[in-house]
Amino acid sequence: MTRRFSEVLRRSFVKCVGALLAISLSATSVSAGDASGSAPVLTLDDAIQLAMNGNRTLKIAELEVVKSEDTLASARTHRLPAFSTTALASQLMTPIDFQFSQGAFGTYPGIGPIPAQNTDINTPLRPVYHIEAEMAQPIVQLYKIHLGLLAQAATIAVDREQVRAQRQELADSVNSPWCKSGVIRRKF
């Protein structure tokens, strides 16, 4: 479906739901008013409020505004520096031992044998730690992040206007046919 067709379909659905709600509420009010004479009259403001409270499309649009605001708050954190730390610890499972006998690497005139005597090299079994801390600030990308924030703020403004338009459309759909016929009375 095209966007235009789905918009027309949504508007007609909202009008039908509002009209049906107003008819059912006003019919109940009118029939109860005839029987007892002192039943409360459904006012226009009450009918509009009932229609807005039960409208799923309006609730979804309001949730989209909240979601957009959360996305903006999340995007603002990208301007701040990022901190990270890494900690590593390790230890050998078994010791590593080397034994070099005297002259194992050769005997040189004027120096003598290398090593000069029998040598034992042992590695102890103790833990080794490595800790690394990092701070990164997106200096070059700050302008791009700012432009993204402005775009997200514009999206929020559009979402809010869509909610406002849906509220007005819903109020008009409840207001137009029923107030003129006298079924719903206005508060004065």
What per-residue confidence (pLDDT) applies to 174? 77
CA gap 173, 47 in Å, rounded: 11
What per-residue confidence (pLDDT) applies to 33? 46
Window from 28-32, 97-101, 105-109, 151-155 with minimum mean pLDDT: 28-32
Q: In sequence order, which residues have a C-beta less than 8 Å from that of residue 16 and are 6 or more positions away? A: none
pTM score over 0.85: no
Name the residue among 181, 183, 162, 180 with its Cα closest to residue 21. Answer: 183
Q: What is the overall mean pLDDT for the chain? A: 81
Per residue in 45-80, pLDDT (tens digit) is 887 788 888 888 888 889 999 999 999 999 898 888
Max distance between CA atoms of the chain, in angstroms, equals 129
